[in-house]
Amino acid sequence: MQNPKVAHTNEISIKVGLDENKVPIDILWTADKNDGNAEHQTCKAILLSLFDGVHQETLKIDLWTKDMMVSEMDRFMFQTLRALSETYFKASQNAALANEMQRFVQYFGEKTEVISPEK
C-alpha cells in the first residue's frame, strides 16, 4: 500500500543474467528519468541494503559477475565504504564516528592499493 502523501514515484529495476550454474554473468539496471524513459545500464556488481522498520533488520543482496576482477572489487568496496561514511554523517551528524569510519576507509584503500598511502 502506497503512502497517500506520495506525489510521484520512480522505478528502479535490476535484471541479473545467470549462467547454467546460476552464477551472475550479466547485471543490467534501469532507473526512471524525469521524462519517464529508462535506459539499461550494465554493471559488474551491486550491493543493495533495505531496512525493514517493522522487524528492525537490514535485508541485503550482494551480487557480482564472475568476470569482476579482485582489483575492481577492491575499488568498488573502497568507494562504497567511503560513501557509507559520508551517508552516515549526513544522517546522524556524528562527526567523531564518521571520521573514524573514514580512517578505516583510508586504511582499506591503502592496503588494497586503490589509493596511495598518506605521507
Sign of the Cα torsion 17, 27, 10, 5 reads: positive
**How many whole angstroms separate alpha carbon 83 and alpha carbon 27?**
21
**How many whole angstroms separate alpha carbon 63 and alpha carbon 29?**
13
Supply the pTM of this predicted model.
Answer: 0.87
In sequence order, what are the residues at sequence separation of 6 or more whose Cβ sits closer than 8 angstroms to the Cβ of residue 27? 14, 15, 16, 17, 42, 43, 44, 45, 46, 63, 65
The kind and range of the H/E element at 67 are none
Confidence at residue 116, expressed as pLDDT on a 0 to 100 scale: 93
Tens-digit pLDDT profile for residues 45-78: 999 999 999 999 999 999 999 999 999 999 999 9
Question: Which has the closest alpha carbon to 48: 2, 14, 86?
Answer: 14
Tens-digit pLDDT profile for residues 72-117: 999 999 999 999 999 999 999 999 999 999 999 999 999 999 999 8
